Amino acid sequence: MNCEFFKRTLGVAVVSAPLLWGLRAPAAEEVTLDWIKSLRSDLKADRTVLLAQQLPLSREESDKFWPLYRSYRAEVDKVNDETVKLVLEYADLYPDVPEEKASELIDRYLKIEANLLKVKGKYLKKMQKVLPATKVFHFAQLDNRLDLGVRVGLASSIPMLAAGRNKAQ
């Protein structure tokens, strides 16, 4: 079940993301890990283009910002890999998630969110050293909107665990 569940669940989420950029969304059975990797690469490139269009930077600012941005995205991608692992584990357990596993998933989710916030804080501070605060804030808004689009797609595709429905009961 886990592989098919994952393809359907993450597939819908990943399929939602291309719609933000006007890309073709595959059928659920076409979603593979290779396709997801390819899509992530395409979205990364599209995200960079969108930021370049929406974030006005001088030549000097660009020379300082883009290397920081690439490092930032590399760290964010590592954190997002943990989210994929969490979804896969949930997929293996769904719909019968034991209490102790649910508790573990909560702890991992909170750690992922804390790590993401830590990475964002670290890089926004670094960016403030090379860009005016208004441009860093504008970047943060753009980045947040792009992240929210992907997160909404993911959240809407993962089935909710019914309260009180688990193997322990």
User: Using one digit for the tens of pLDDT, what is the confidence trace for 101-116?
Assistant: 999 999 999 999 999 9
Q: Look up tokens 């890990």; give the residue.
A: 33
SS3 at position 162? coil
Here the tokens at position 52 are: 């370049």
When divided into structural domains, the chain yields a total of: 1
Domain membership of residue 53 (yes or no) is yes
Asked if residues 104 and 18 have their Cβ atoms less than 8 Å apart, the reply is no
pLDDT value of residue 41: 72
The least confident of 25-34, 53-62, 132-141 is 25-34
Report the C-alpha gap between 135 and 98 in whole angstroms. Answer: 46
pLDDT at 30 over 70: no
Asked if residues 89 and 105 have their Cβ atoms less than 8 Å apart, the reply is yes
Domain membership of residue 167 (yes or no) is no
Whether a cis peptide bond, with omega within 30° of 0, leads into 95 is yes
Domain membership of residue 32 (yes or no) is yes
Here the tokens at position 68 are: 């920081």
Domain membership of residue 39 (yes or no) is yes
Q: Look up tokens 């595959």; give the residue.
A: 26
Q: What is the mean pLDDT of the chain?
A: 80
Residue 116 CB neighbour total at 10 angstroms: 17
pLDDT interval class at 39 (50, 70, 90): low
Domain membership of residue 106 (yes or no) is yes
One-letter amino acid identity for 139?
Answer: F
Report the C-alpha gap between 7 and 105 in whole angstroms. Answer: 20
Kindly list the distances between the CA atom of residue 99 and the CA atoms of 42, 82, 103, in Å, as whole numbers in the listed order: 38, 21, 6
Domain membership of residue 162 (yes or no) is no
pTM of the entire predicted model? 0.76
User: Using one digit for the tens of pLDDT, what is the confidence trace for 50-60?
Assistant: 899 999 999 99
- Residue 30, domain extent: 2-157
Asked if residues 138 and 55 have their Cβ atoms less than 8 Å apart, the reply is yes
Domain membership of residue 88 (yes or no) is yes
Domain membership of residue 166 (yes or no) is no
Residues whose CB falls within 8 Å of the CB of residue 153, separated by 6 or more in sequence, listed in order? 12, 13, 14, 15, 16, 17
User: Using one digit for the tens of pLDDT, what is the confidence trace for 60-75?
Assistant: 999 999 999 999 999 9
Question: What's the whole-number mean pLDDT along residues 116-129?
Answer: 98
Report the C-alpha gap between 149 and 167 in whole angstroms. Answer: 33
